Amino acid sequence: MSVAPREQGYEPKNPIRIVTAASLFDGHDAAINVMRRLLQRGGAEVIHLGHNRSVKDVVDCAIQEDAQGIAMTSYQGGHVEYLSYMRQLLDERGAKVVIVGGGGGTILPAEIEELTAAGIDRIYTPDDGRSMGLEGMIDDVLERCDRAPVADGDLGLVERLPEQDHAAIARLISLAENRPDLADRLDAELAKFTPERTIPVLGITGTGGSGKSSLVDEIVRRFLLDFEDRRIAIISVDPSKRKTGGALLGDRIRMNAIGDPRVYMRSLATRQSNLALSKHVQQSIDICKAAGFDLVIVETSGIGQSDTEIVDHSDVSLYVMTAEYGAATQLEKIDMLDFADLIAINKFDKRGSLDALRDVRKQYRRNHNSFGGADEDLPVLGTIAAQFNDRGTNVLYAKLMAAIEKATGAGLASTFDPSAHTTETGYVIPGDRSRYLAEIAESSDSYESWVLGQSDVARRMYQLSGTIAQLRERVGERSLRINDAELGDAARAGASIVRVIEHVEGEPDYLIDLIRLYNDLKSRLDPGCRELLETWPDVQRRYAADRYQFQVRDRVIEQDLVTETLSGLKVRKVALPRYKDWGDLLIWLLRESTPGHFPFTAGAFPLKRRGEDPARMFAGEGDAERTNRRFHFVSHGQPAKRLSTAFDSVTLYGEDPARRPDIYGKIGNSGVSVACLDDAKRLYSGFDLADPTTSVSMTINGPAPMVLGFFLNAAVDQQCERVLAESGRLAAAVARADELYAAKGIQRPRYRRDLPRGHDGLGLALLGVSADEVMDPEVYARVRTETLKVVRGTVQADILKEDQAQNTCIFSTEFALRMMGDIQQHFITNKVRNFYSVSISGYHIAEAGANPITQLAFTLANGFTYVEYYLSRGMDVNDFAPNLSFFFSNGLDPEYSVIGRVARRIWAKAMKNLYGGNDRSQKLKYHIQTSGRSLHAQEIGFNDIRTTLQALYAIYDNCNSLHTNAYDEAITTPTEESVRRALAIQLIINQESGLARNENPLQGSFIIEELTDLVEQAVMTEFRSLSERGGVLGAMERMYQRAKIQDESMYYEGKKHDGSLPIIGVNTFLDPDGSPTIVPGEVIRSTQAERDGAIEHVERMREFRAGASDAALERLGRIAVTDGNLFDELMEATKVCTLGQLSGALYEVGGQYRRNM
């Protein structure tokens, strides 16, 4: 995302340091990224923390970095508690730091007044944006923060260094930076407190982008594990901008291990050009030594080939590089290969790394005149810092500590065993499959060439057949002999095309030549194409009937093919083309075909399921009971219950409800709070989860494996409850559950409200226990097996999309993908055939700003990446492909009218021709949600019009399920009235709109066919672009997807702003008042009782399950470090552990997500 240069603006009088971040459990980082760029351009040194930052993270950073200001964005609710708590912690620690923030329209005027009263300096509103402009707001922030960073009296803070006072350490480093006139006095004071023992300095330097910060974080994590009572300081240097004086101090965003109180980190700007270190780095080191740290790490900014400055400041030096250094002769120019004690070739999973290791080792030998010994003994190692518990990084750490101890004798002898801490993880995509996206594009091109070639053969045969018939009429011969042996049964029953034409005695020679030419062409027609043409008359007869039979797995389904209008006309559900030319017909059959037939362009199934419109009922607010009530409200009277669940941000980030203010304010806001099995039971109670007309969709990604475990166990327990009731044993089971709680003096969980209308109580009898605790194990096992086979629904669990667009990743990417694979393997083993293990989601890519082509291309590319990963794990494509589903947004751009048909066609062709998938694997099923981005806070009544048109696109394109947004979602959580109107949009289209009686209305349209081809070609072009960058994962490392999404978002916003993209009621057709932004009178929030109830239930559950949860977490950790299936164990652990407990345990063995800039 680009930021225009500042030609003029506020000129700071002092060096300004500002911390920028998005609030806890908030992945919306686009706005704060723009702000931090503008602040940097205004001359500030910006310490950027990225998204999902707790108050403690931000406050600790502000104090350690001695920042004058904090700039926050908050879009997920809870901002009053969050920012007030931030001011409270800063005040408690005596830090006078300016706090500013913004959150668009989510922060109400009354809340701004409350925050101002709590000491927040400024909350910027959308009206401020319009009146002040972005740069005006930035100038205001800079002016508020522009105060002298240090004072003469700060020199006395040296006396507080032995207390490990981070604020004192930070202020003294600021003193060194800003008051060189006090340098000698500072040195003299420091000398009084510097311990006599040796405090080693590890210098880490290397090229820009080599992963130094990630490697530092991994070294720190291992140091904290290695030494339980030792403390470590990190000084990280980044370059200042020569033009503006600003700096992006971005190393801290990559650090996950520095939250430990034994760690101090300070970021420095060079404040000079063309150098990798600040000239104040030595005094900063001395300050850390005087504070008594046991190890000081200094990380430089990216350096060039001749830079060795770090050697002058360190006892041991580490040079970090990658394989991307050019020709091997370039190594001769790198001075650090002469001076570094250890050399790490990071990102060792990238192509060329083994060659780089060989070349660097050779160069090291030359530089050090050391030609004896084994290569493995040289201090040159391959590392993958991005991979949790990487073996190479473990070995590097052990060698570093040995080198430090040898060089300094500082008493840091390591007991770290590299092999004991190694988690074996293979590559996600094997090296020989790195071109998979390019292969899909090439396969598609080959298929299209083949289609054109075959259609040309068929067209010429058609023309010759007609010519021969006409000539025979001239010579009096009208009959044609057909070779029946070459036709199938269906063709013999009535086919009249693609026949074998034989010569009839007495015919002229020119007919003999034409017949020979015809039969030569026939031999070039693919047998499959020939069968398609031969059976076409039979297809026509089947669709001309009043009823149609087709098979879905082991069921034969029969449905009406005709509906009658009020005028008495019969409208066919599937209309067929009237082509006569065999070439045109073959092209249509190979590119389009009827719904339910390859390439499934018109639809995945022959006909839509009767009695089940694709409407999804979306809900999520407050506690489980409140959302359960909404589910019953929106599904009342509907023949099918298709429940779609939104979770609150606490759940989305895998944490438990808690009283800490920055968590407390977010419980149950913008989604439902689900922290354990009982929450899932209450949430879906009253719905038969084993009924084929019930399906549940869960929009959750990072902690999806745990929440899925809650749901599946809730479904199993619900059916166990039914079996117990039918056998007359439910009362005994309930009594047993009561006894278990009574024995511990704890109240058993219950449904905390009156049951809503339509709720029959199903799923509530066994609250507080797992069914296997109160019933016969064999009966439980049988019910579990049968339930898993029939339960219907979807869990989103799309971790690639999260990394690219939405930011609810919580685990390291490799570990998250492993758990996705474990879920799928569990599904295969347990024959879970009706539940989608992943919803590969373009919706959030579109909401982040991508255009429809980018949304489709990135989403399909992610889908094929999962296919490649699952195949690399040894799964059969036909075992897992049916468990994959997709999720797209529908806007009003013309491309959205064909997004489903293009997706189906691309998927089917690749699965059939490249992966060998069967008919079921070739069927792409997808959910549509109307565009949230197209909901505007001006003239909100117009939003339903946009949503109606988007829903029409989706229904005409045969989506498999559909959610229509409520018109007021632009400004608030939707009300029951707006939700009912949104659902009515679908019902009116499906039940009142006459054309919707037909199920292939787009087929035969010239513009639809043209758009389909254009969009498909554009997707293939994007596949090639991704492939050039190493596939999806390689492109993610370069942040290609994020950058492209942001560019497209800015392009859209620019056109909306200048009016070249007309949006009714927003930038044109304004009402007499100018169509102002509507501010809601109130925003639906969770109640204090709901928040307190969520916390109390988690506390009671932890108390009741204390021993069982500890054992379950221990087993989970043991499985995680082996090749065992984590989801198998999660299915057991979710019975006795809370979400936060499970996340915490998995962080220890799988690693946390590392944020990117």
Do residues 307 and 336 lie in contact, with contact meaning Cβ atoms separated by under 8 Å?
A: yes
Question: Is 348 labelled as part of a ligand binding site?
Answer: yes
pLDDT at 481 over 70: no
Check residue 691 and give its pLDDT. 96
| Angle (nearest 5°) at CA 968 between 996 and 1056 | 85
Check residue 427 and give its pLDDT. 76
Question: Is 836 labelled as part of a ligand binding site?
Answer: yes
pLDDT at 1143 over 50: yes
Q: Is the pTM of this model over 0.75?
A: yes
Residue 423 pLDDT grade (very low, low, confident, very high; cuts 50, 70, 90): low
pLDDT at 492 over 60: no
Query: Which residue has tokens 């589910």?
Result: 631
Diameter of the chain measured on Cα atoms: 121
Question: Is 581 labelled as part of a ligand binding site?
Answer: no
Question: Is 382 labelled as part of a ligand binding site?
Answer: no
Check residue 1 and give its pLDDT. 41
Same domain assignment for residues 355 and 397: yes
Same domain assignment for residues 874 and 885: yes
Question: Is 299 labelled as part of a ligand binding site?
Answer: yes
Question: Is 900 labelled as part of a ligand binding site?
Answer: no
The encoded tokens of residue 62 equal 């502000």
Question: Is 251 labelled as part of a ligand binding site?
Answer: yes
pLDDT at 1149 over 50: yes
pLDDT in tens, 885-897: 999 999 999 999 9
Same domain assignment for residues 392 and 497: no
Query: Does some domain include residue 789?
Result: no
Question: Is 66 labelled as part of a ligand binding site?
Answer: no
pLDDT at 478 over 70: no
Same domain assignment for residues 141 and 232: no
Cα 480 off chain centre by: 62
CA dihedral (561, 563, 567, 569) in degrees, to 10, reads: 0
pLDDT at 495 over 80: no
**Mean pLDDT across the stretch 1088-1096?**
98
Check residue 426 and give its pLDDT. 63
**Mean pLDDT across the stretch 815-827?**
97
Nearest Cα to Cα of residue 931 among 898, 891, 969, 962: 891
Residue 106 pLDDT grade (very low, low, confident, very high; cuts 50, 70, 90): confident
Q: What is the CATH number of the domain that holds 1008?
A: 3.20.20.240
Question: Is 885 labelled as part of a ligand binding site?
Answer: yes
Question: Is 237 labelled as part of a ligand binding site?
Answer: yes
Question: Is 1037 labelled as part of a ligand binding site?
Answer: yes
pLDDT-above-90 percentage for the chain:
82
**Mean pLDDT across the stretch 1034-1058?**
93
Check residue 1055 and give its pLDDT. 94
Which amino acid type is present at position 10? Y
**Mean pLDDT across the stretch 118-130?**
90
Query: Does some domain include residue 773?
Result: no
Instruction: Count other Cβ atoms within 10 Å, centred on residue 302.
Output: 16
Same domain assignment for residues 272 and 402: yes
Which of residues 1069, 1087, 1122 is at a domain's end? 1069
pLDDT at 103 over 70: yes
Same domain assignment for residues 931 and 849: yes
pLDDT in tens, 172-182: 999 999 999 99
Do residues 926 and 887 lie in contact, with contact meaning Cβ atoms separated by under 8 Å?
A: yes
The per-residue pLDDT of the chain, averaged, comes to: 93
Check residue 179 and give its pLDDT. 95
Question: Is 230 labelled as part of a ligand binding site?
Answer: no
Same domain assignment for residues 485 and 362: no
The encoded tokens of residue 61 equal 């950073």
Same domain assignment for residues 391 and 462: no
The answer for 81, left when phi > 0, alpha when psi is -120 to 50, beta otherwise, is: alpha
Cα 519 off chain centre by: 55
Question: Is 934 labelled as part of a ligand binding site?
Answer: no
Question: Is 925 labelled as part of a ligand binding site?
Answer: yes
Domain count, the chain: 4
Do residues 51 and 26 lie in contact, with contact meaning Cβ atoms separated by under 8 Å?
A: yes
Same domain assignment for residues 213 and 101: no
pLDDT at 484 over 60: no
Query: Which residue has tokens 């920055």?
Result: 662
Nearest Cα to Cα of residue 797 among 887, 695, 903, 890: 887
End-to-end CA distance of the chain: 12
Check residue 477 and give its pLDDT. 46
Question: Is 28 labelled as part of a ligand binding site?
Answer: yes
Q: What are phi and psi of 351, to 5 degrees?
A: -60, 140
Query: Does some domain include residue 418?
Result: no
Residue 616 pLDDT grade (very low, low, confident, very high; cuts 50, 70, 90): confident
Query: Does some domain include residue 752?
Result: no
pLDDT in tens, 206-238: 998 899 999 999 999 999 999 999 999 999 999
Tell which wins on pLDDT, 888 or 469.
Answer: 888
Question: Is 300 labelled as part of a ligand binding site?
Answer: yes
Instruction: Extract the runs of DSSP E, i.e. beta strands, from 554-669.
Output: 555-560, 562-564, 570-572, 617-619, 641-646
Check residue 421 and give its pLDDT. 65
pLDDT at 424 over 70: no
Domain that holds residue 67: 17-145
Check residue 838 and give its pLDDT. 98
Cα 1145 off chain centre by: 22
Question: Is 597 labelled as part of a ligand binding site?
Answer: no
Query: Does some domain include residue 556?
Result: no
Question: Is 741 labelled as part of a ligand binding site?
Answer: no
Do residues 1126 and 822 lie in contact, with contact meaning Cβ atoms separated by under 8 Å?
A: yes
Check residue 479 and give its pLDDT. 42
pLDDT in tens, 542-585: 999 999 988 777 778 889 999 999 999 999 999 999 999 999 99
Cis upstream peptide for 599 (omega within 30°): yes
Same domain assignment for residues 393 and 454: no
Same domain assignment for residues 981 and 899: yes
Check residue 131 and give its pLDDT. 85
Alpha-carbon distance of 780 to 689, in angstroms, equals 16
The encoded tokens of residue 646 equal 């939104």
**Mean pLDDT across the stretch 990-1014?**
97
Query: Does some domain include residue 381?
Result: yes
pLDDT at 955 over 90: yes
Query: Any idea what DSSP says for residue 310?
Result: G
Check residue 216 and give its pLDDT. 98
Check residue 224 and give its pLDDT. 97
Same domain assignment for residues 270 and 337: yes
